[in-house]
Amino acid sequence: MTPQRKILLVGWDSADWRLISPLLDRGLMPALSGVIERGVMGNLASLEPMLSPLIWTSIATGKFPHQHGVLGFVEPDPLGGGIRNVGSTTRRGKALWNLLSESGLATHVVSWYASHPAETIRGVCASDRFALAPTPTAEPWPLPEGAIQPAAAAAALAQFRLHPTEIEASQLLPFIPRAAELDQRDPAVAGRLTALARILAQTASVQAAATWILETQPWDFLGVYFRALDDLGHHFMPFRPPCLPGVSETDVAVYGNVMEAACCFHDLMLARLLHLAGPDTTVIVISDHGFESGAQRPGAVANEPETMSGWHRQFGILAAAGPGVRRDERIYGCSVLDLTPTVLHLFGLPVGRDMAGKVLVNALEVPGEVARIPTWENPASDAAPAVAAPANAGEEAALFEHLVALGYMQRPDADTERQMRRAADEITFNRITSLVSAGQAGEASVEARRLAERNPTERRHRLKLVQALLHAGHLSEARDELAVVETELGHCPNTGRMIAHLLMLEGNPAEALRRLQAAESEAPDDMRLHEQIGRVLLQQRRWRDAEQRYRRVLAAEPENPSACVGLAAALARQNHNVEAAQWALTALGLQHFLPEGHFQLGAVLTKLNFPERAIQAFETGLSMRPGHVPAHRFLARLYRHIGHTDRAAHHRQRIRELDPSAPAED
């Protein structure tokens, strides 16, 4: 099969429009600007938990983390004991490069997260370890075993790797212009310069491999992943102006431009890739999530476990251009789950019905009909699966040290059994989070109960159980668990929020509001608190007060989809229906997988007398949250209104099944 289309997929971990857009406006990122001007751009909604191996594997499969099985940075090592880094053998099912290779396409992938050992495909697969320098000194540096497939490409790619010690001082100056003035005997200074050199060397190695493939290999698809913006963000984003508490003005003056310089560096690399790919290539630039860069930064240190997760923002970037892609348009409702279905569709291949994502038809001039098959997992593959081998101690240690430095894991200790238990528990914790996010709270609550019973003194595990129970509607169990947690482990802000949420679900908004207002006096700038107060005010039918709360949240967080939905509900209850519809659409433009957003849009469209569009909104929401009785009620009425009596009867029957106390007729 020789398609006319070529696709270049470029991944920039943690790239964020809030940081990039001012650089585009100043003309400092011309390559990305050109993609946007001749194509489309938009936000790319991430998933929970926002951890790179999970999200990049979801990008490559179109599936939630609990479906594809990559659920952490490390996992128990069944071969050697202790723990090992996740990789291609962790993944359950096929990645995009497997699917395209099976379809006869010349397919290459470079440095994708969690891709080691490299898989055999119809092209070059360079794993995320091929550019890893396990030691900081310039000593012999053999390729990690299994880093390159086919083996014939290994020698060529090995010569393009750059060791951190090969980065010259002058090459750091575009990022830290005053580097020569710094006292490198200061461990903090030396650590930052060393980290910058290591990240630049690894990034240059990945770029070199990608350009070699484009220059020398036949290709239909190339996927290349750069992790530099995330790594640099955890080291240097605290020093970006304005000055955070606990950060010296001197450090801001020295390191404050690193992130902007890094974005411009990525644009230079993109320009080279675009030149080699040619004008007839479809190019897609994405990130897995964003990175806080302004007033919402959580603290002075970006690489401590207590603060690390707060640095990731829900929305990454998407920019695409090429034949058949709409020109100079902004698109909405895009998710990291949508990339694999969209690439398959662009190549004329079917989308698996077991994929959670959708084809981004709103990005295409002529979308065409989306072909579907039950799954891609059944057809026999001519590609040999990656085979796990005993972990290389030096490589694993280097990767562990890197993750520890960025705050993604605790430093491993000598107790291998404890390491394995800790890794297994973290995988379970993340699986529960993924299940809840996908609307499978019942299954999540069962697993969360087991996790909490194994770790009764771990507050986050106990609260994860409460979260799952609340989402599953098991209110009495949630109340019992919260009472035990407060008695045994003491009160904390998260337990307070969960108690307030429980009180709302139990129909006691007055007490919920009292508790939240008490917490507000201690944390007046906590937008999560204001958003929760808004929900309570909606339950109390205080529409105007709720509107003001949500507007306050959106003034601080303009891209908060749940706040947009709350504001839409408050406005609709005041009969400001057109504005309510606009806010509901804004929410869905930010995050398509948002059942409450589709429900609210359907309710407003019903009031505006657009029954067919309202039906579409309710049906979409039901596909994401089956069994939502209010949506079935609306649909029963709407289908009866437009004369579809059979569909109306179906939804009335579903109401009776879900709520036996419901009247026989709606």
The pLDDT score that the predictor gives to residue 245 is 87
Least confident of 59-63, 402-406, 473-477, 602-606: 402-406
Residue bearing the bigger pLDDT, 408 or 450: 450
How does pLDDT run across 483-536, given as a tens digit for each residue?
999 899 988 878 888 999 999 999 999 999 998 988 888 788 888 899 999 999
Q: What is the mean pLDDT of the chain?
A: 91
Is 297 among the domain residues? yes
How does pLDDT run across 111-125, given as a tens digit for each residue?
999 999 999 999 999
Is 663 among the domain residues? yes
The torsion of the CA quartet 340, 345, 346, 347, rounded to 10 degrees, works out to 100
Region 42-52 average pLDDT: 94
- Alpha-carbon span 314 to 169, nearest angstrom: 36
Is 495 among the domain residues? no
The pLDDT score that the predictor gives to residue 392 is 65
Domain boundary at 368, 393, 418, which? 393
Contact 302, 237 (CB under 8 A): yes
Report whether pLDDT(2) > 50.
no
How does pLDDT run across 263-315, given as a tens digit for each residue?
999 999 999 999 999 999 999 999 999 999 987 788 655 555 445 667 899 99
Region 380-397 average pLDDT: 56
Q: State how far Cα 23 lies from the chain centre.
A: 23
Is 613 among the domain residues? yes
At 644, which CATH number? 1.25.40.10
The pLDDT score that the predictor gives to residue 309 is 66
Name beta bridge partners: 40.
320, 329
Report whether pLDDT(110) > 80.
yes
Is 427 among the domain residues? no
Collapse the DSSP code of 67 into the 3-class scheme (helix H, G, I; strand E, B; otherwise coil) and give the result. Answer: helix
Q: What angle do CA 274, 280, 285 make, to 5 degrees?
A: 45
Domain boundary at 393, 415, 446, which? 393
Domain boundary at 377, 393, 409, which? 393
At 372, which CATH number? 3.40.720.10
CA distances from 427 to 71, 366, 430 (A): 5, 41, 5
Is 600 among the domain residues? yes
Contact 96, 340 (CB under 8 A): yes
Q: Say what percent of the chain tops pLDDT 70.
A: 92
Is 129 among the domain residues? yes
Closest alpha carbon to 582 in 562, 595, 565: 565
Is 133 among the domain residues? yes
Number of structural domains the chain divides into:
2
Collapse the DSSP code of 107 into the 3-class scheme (helix H, G, I; strand E, B; otherwise coil) and give the result. Answer: strand
Where in the sequence is the domain holding 655, given as residue range(s)? 565-666
